[in-house]
Structure 1
Amino acid sequence: MGTVTLGALAGHFGRDVERGVAKAVGIIEAARRDGVDLLVFPDATLGGYIGNLRSPDLDDLPPALDPHGPELATIAEAAGDMTVCIGYTEADGETHYNAAVCLTGDGILGSHRKVHQPAGESAAYAAGDSFTTFDTPVGRVGMLIDYDKTFPESARTLAVDGAQIIAALSAWPASVTDRAARLPADRQSRLFDLYDCARAAENQVFMVSANLTGVTGSLQFLGQAKVVGPGGDVLATTRSKGGLAKIDADVESEIIRARRTLNHLAELRPEIYPSAADLGAS
């Protein structure tokens, strides 16, 4: 596979799906000119996110899209030989999911429905029930959607299934209960970065983490898109601003090097860990 360019976007996207598609296409075209091979957009890029976590306005929910409809077909056409991960609200009959797809010009390579739901999000979306990995031109990839990365089991499931890169698509806001005067000092700002670095380091994989910026309803999003290496080091970041965090990496070689002495996945002791199901039952 050799060296590839990984990019994570921080940007603002709202309810207007047509405008969101056009903006995403422009970003994809610019990223291609910069040689990006994997481009990860935020959660809710197409159609935006809910405006209140504790009590979403059910009369103002993001529009739900058919994964095989014209919007994602346009994104795929723009992607061409680039691998693009992008978030949207998925319609499955009358059921809506906070979802993401990873695609190229050949179509959808993999998909994910957000499993872990914070606060009142379950009023707006149904929950997904699995974490899966899939092959792409840049390596084996798995996806997480914002709150999913709070739970170590999510990323570990992907890593054990062979993920070399975890694409983390977020609509991650500043604290809704105790917002700091400055975003970099906000508690959620610290946690967002901590989870990115911890999930990469504990699994010795690349984390390509995108996030929304700007404001939707009562939520102010943090940005902080970044690429984290398999040692847990932040290799590129937008900080709290919009933009693209990108790096060149030989993904396979860097992972092999990180695991040369201490190989966390090979040294797991699953026979002595309580299962997640057992913990939930207690």
Structure 2
Amino acid sequence: MVRVAAVQYEVGTDIAANLATTLRLIDAAAAEGAELIVLPEFCHHLSWYESREQARALACRHGDPFLSAVAARAARHGAHVKIGVTLARPDGRTTGASLLYGPAGQLLGEADKQVLMGAENDHLSPGAEAGPVLDTPVGRLGLYACMEGVICEVTRGLALRGAQVLLNSLNSFAVDEASLHVPVRAAENKVWVVAANKVGPLIPADRLEAVSEGLRVPPEWLHGAGESQIVAPDGGVVARAPRTGEAVVVADIDPGAADAERAALLAGRRPARYGPLAAPAPGRTAEAGADSLPVAVVRGDAALVRQAATECALLVALPEGSPVSAEEAARAVRGTACHVVTGDAVLVGPGGPVTGGDGPAGIHVLPWGRLAIITGEAARHPEEFRLAALADADVVAVPFTPREPWELRLGLLERAAENRLNLVAAGPDGPDGLAGAILGLSPDFTLWTTWQGPFTGRISHPLVTHVKNTDLLVHGVVAPAQAVNRLVSRGTDLVAGRPWRAAGALLEGPQ
């Protein structure tokens, strides 16, 4: 067993004060017996600069007093310490870097942040290479930071290259980091995740009101969202810090506990299909779909399919293994405008089965937009949904069989969020009392735009209608037109901005 710690605290613009806080909390974590300590992102200075030149001037350099002090403190405690800072590279780039120091104070590895968020694009250069997987006495470790965990490629690549424990340093005011984006990366890859976020203002005090107005985010929400956490390979949170205030949370973990489960899960991938994930792609080119689409999940007979269609559903999803045949489904929707995705992934309209499907993702162009179908084992893998997004799908129907609670509590929600896809998922009775979900996209998504509703701190998260094991017919509404908008902040496109240059591991089997 290895004792790990996630540490959260406030960082300002006084670098000396930030170093004092950093060292004090490394000491606190070590006092709890932590052998592996994870600190937040941008620990030495707030991630807020007037210019690219200022960002470089204030950035850390290898061997400077700040990093030397952190390395020395790791050596004092014989601990592994992971920290996030901006780093001035000799080639003129300034990057957001994750650094891991070993128990002798040596730099064991580093990874430049590949996906930058909003204004970070103005001041920093993204990393162009995948970070290392480091074989250490406390496990095989992978390093990532904040926005890299809001999409799937970085963490998936680390797991495929053998990581057992992923270390995430965050600088985030989004509450959906803790509720969704952090724990899903553990569950979908069968790894441990140790995630350390900030608390306190993420904007200099004298700029807070102006930035609040520009972002159209209330100033009280521009604080680090806390809830630093340690997550088990099943997605369960074993230790969590509070929403506010300094904290050190610790847990004893077994890095190799999920090695067999991870190997079994990753063996179900289909890497021969995933070539587009490691290739450039333009932004969305297909026209927007309908503003709204009434949908339904039917877990009963053809009479319930007929009921859903006559109650105005235009798309019905049946669970994997449904006894309703394509012929029965066609008869049930005759005389309506409804389409049905059967339990064996056949698209059926009022006239019978709809043949074809464009491209590798099998896109069907329907009157309300573009439909993809992902079924069975494929529904467990983020790569399949990424292919649908790259093909400009608006809605994905998912007839599948849920096996583990994370698939419906976290997995499908993340597939909708990270790709801006509406999902209609139907299964037989599943674990944790859930059998499916209808996941719609909210128009409240892009920062720096006016939100229709109050800002709640949830940024990249779908609107959820759960389908319970006791439900036979569930109606919902999704928003095909919202799939066009993938810009979470200025300069940060969830799909076009994915780190495709460093995604080669996704085209291979696990190492």
Structure 1 residues 26 and 101, CA, compared in 2 at 3 Å: closer, same or farther? same
Q: Which has the higher contact order (CA 8 A, sep 6+)?
A: 1
SS of 2:17's equivalent? helix
CA distance in 2, matches of 1:216, 1:249: 31
Aligned CA distance change for structure 1 residues 96 and 36 (closer, same or farther; 3 Å): same
Q: Does 1:194 align with 2:195?
A: no
TM-score (norm: length of structure 1): 0.85
Partner of 1:121: 120
Quick one: which of 205, 208, 218 aligns to 2:194? 208
Partners of 1:6 and 1:202 in 2: how far apart?
21
Q: What is the root-mean-square deviation in Å for CA atoms of aligned residues?
A: 2.0
Larger Rg: 2
Match 2:50 to one of 57, 64, 86:
57
The CA deviation string for residues 9-44 of structure 1, in whole angstroms up to 9 with x for no partner, is 111112222222222111112221210011100000
Which of structure 1's runs of 4+ aligned residues deviate more than 6 A? none
Aligned to 2:227: 224
8 Å Cα contact 1:48/1:88 also seen in 2: no
Q: Partner residue of 1:251?
A: 255
Letter paired with 1:23: T
Q: Which residue of 1 aligns with 2:85?
A: 88
Where 2:188 maps in the other structure, the secondary structure is helix
Q: TM-score, normalised by structure 2?
A: 0.48
Aligned to 1:75, what secondary structure does the other structure show?
Answer: helix
Note if contact 1:109-1:135 (Cα within 8 Å) is conserved in structure 2.
Answer: no
* 1:71 and 2:54 aligned: no
Q: What is the DSSP-based 3-state SS (H/G/I as helix, E as strand, rest coil) of the residue aligned with 1:97?
A: strand
TM alignment of 1:261-272, pairs within 5 A = 263-272=264-273
Please give the per-residue CA displacement for 1:71-113, whole angstroms capped at 9, x wherever unaligned.
2121111112200001111011442111120002341111111
Structure 2 residue aligned with 1:39: 37
Q: Specify whether residues 279 and 123 from structure 1 end up closer, same or farther in structure 2 by C-alpha distance, changes over 3 A only.
A: closer
The code of the aligned residue for 2:232 comes to: G
Partner SS, residue 275 of structure 1: helix
Mark the runs of 5 or more structure 1 residues left unpaired by the alignment.
Answer: 51-55, 174-187
Offset of residue 257 of structure 1: 6.1
1:5 aligns with 2:9: no
> Does the 8 Å CA contact 1:83/1:137 hold for their aligned counterparts?
no
Instruction: Write the distance in 2 (CA, Å) between the matches of 1:86 and 1:269.
Output: 35
Distance 1:73 1:41, change over 3 A: same
SS in 1 for 2:159: helix
Q: Percent identity?
A: 27
Match of 1:184 in 2: none
Residue pair 2:28, 2:248 contacting (<8 A) in 1 also = no
Matched length = 258
